[in-house]
Amino acid sequence: MYLATARLQTGCCQREVATELRVLQSVSAGCNRETGRVTERHRSGCSLATSHVDDRIIVNSTLQSRMIATQLQASLREVRAWARLHLHWTRNQWASGLFSDES
């Protein structure tokens, strides 16, 4: 975004900057010419349904859910590998195994 800001400060129009950087014009339109910061533009219509704090909570919750899902998938992979190893065991092989209810 620094390159976009620099190009805008030299007097290039947003369309030229967007074409040069191969991005949509709306991307360069959000860049402030003086500060270089990308800000949300005022939008007409309904106000936002959630606050920025609510948005952050939703993002964090989603990331945490993904992490839990990844851990669960790894655990299931281990269980499936164990099941594949023991798929064709005979009754005698199962009888020789030691099983316990204690963890």
Per-residue pLDDT tens digits of the chain, which is 103 residues long:
556 666 667 777 777 877 877 776 666 555 555 555 555 566 677 777 888 888 889 888 998 999 999 999 999 999 999 999 999 998 888 888 767 666 5
Whether 97 maps to a domain, the answer reads no
For 44, left (φ over 0), alpha (ψ -120 to 50), or beta? beta
Whether 103 maps to a domain, the answer reads no
Two tokens, residue 62 = 């989603």
- State the total domains in the chain: 2
Whether 92 maps to a domain, the answer reads no
Whether 22 maps to a domain, the answer reads yes
Return the pLDDT at 12. Answer: 74
Shared domain for 64 and 30, answered yes or no, is: no
**How far apart (Å, rounded) are the C-alpha atoms in residues 42 and 39?**
9
Whether 98 maps to a domain, the answer reads no
Asked whether 66 and 73 are in contact (CB, 8 A), the reply is no
Give the range of the structural domain holding residue 58, as residue numbers without chain letter. 50-87
Smallest CA-to-CA distance from 35 within 2, 58, 13, 67 is with 2
Q: What is the pTM of this model?
A: 0.41
Whether 96 maps to a domain, the answer reads no
3-class secondary structure, 86: coil
